[in-house]
Structure 1
Amino acid sequence: MKKSYRVKKEKEFQAVFQEKQSCANRRFVVYILEKPNQKHFRVGISVGKKIGNAVTRNAVKRKVRAAIYQLKDQIEPACDFIIIARPGVEQLTAEEIHTNVRHVLKLAKILK
């Protein structure tokens, strides 16, 4: 995924968190910030230390990024969102992560 599609800076993460608009399922929490004049969506991925060591956390991030990449044509362009992984997600396969990401994005009304 290109850098222009990522929320990277601490200020950008805090702006999304301060909006306090969120949805969740058992595996993920999504925080949303509407940006009407934006050309495409931007996503931030957060995987905490409760998930596991660095290798495990990076594997989860790769799987979440792959799921978002597969869904990118269906995602609303006018928003920034952050996906936070909950403990237990490290045991899921890539397909299960894809299903859970799709579910939480539907709950958040980010998917078209």
Structure 2
Amino acid sequence: MKKELRVKKNKEIQEAFQKGQSFANRQFVVYSLEKADQDYFRIGLSVSKKIGNAVTRNQIKRYIRQAVFELSDLLAPGNDYVIIARKPAAEMDFFEVKKSLTHVFKVGKVLKKR
């Protein structure tokens, strides 16, 4: 992911938590914050140490980034998304992660129709 497509600063993540909408399923929680002056969407990731060791956490983050990349044309531009992985995400493969993220984005009504 390009640098301008990431939410990295703690201040920006906290703003998404406080002012944004949240939607979730068993595997992921997604906070969405609309940014009117932004022409693209940005993604922030959070995977807790409770989920597993560094290898597991990095693998989950890679799966999430790839799933978001494949869904990028369907995601609404002008939003910041902060994705938090829950414990069941540790046992999922890439296709399950993508399916679960698609479901969460549909629940939050941020996914455009195909």
Which residue does the alignment assign to 2:26? 26
- Where in structure 2 are there 5+ consecutive unaligned residues? none
Give how far 1:37 is off. 2.0
1:48 matches 2:51: no
**Distance across 1 between alignment mates of 2:31 and 2:20:** 7
**Distance across 2 between alignment mates of 1:25 and 1:110:** 15
Which residue does the alignment assign to 1:74? 74
* Contact 2:26-2:88 at 8 Å conserved across structures: no
User: Taking structure 1 as the reference length, what is the TM-score of the superposition?
Assistant: 0.96
- After superposition, the C-alpha distances for 1:16-52 in whole angstroms (9 at most, x for unaligned) are 0111510001100001111122110001011001110
- After superposition, the C-alpha distances for 1:46-94 in whole angstroms (9 at most, x for unaligned) are 1001110111100000000000000001110011010100001110110
CA RMSD of the aligned region, Å?
A: 0.8
Runs of 4+ in 1 over 6 A off after TM superposition: none
Q: How many residues align?
A: 112
1:91 matches 2:75: no
**Distance across 2 between alignment mates of 1:17 and 1:67:** 22
SS of residue paired to 1:14: helix
**Distance across 1 between alignment mates of 2:21 and 2:111:** 16
Which residue does the alignment assign to 2:11? 11
**Distance across 1 between alignment mates of 2:3 and 2:102:** 22
**Distance across 2 between alignment mates of 1:5 and 1:103:** 22
The percentage of counterpart residues that share the same residue type is 53
1:39 matches 2:13: no
- Where in structure 1 are there 5+ consecutive unaligned residues? none
Which residue does the alignment assign to 2:60? 60
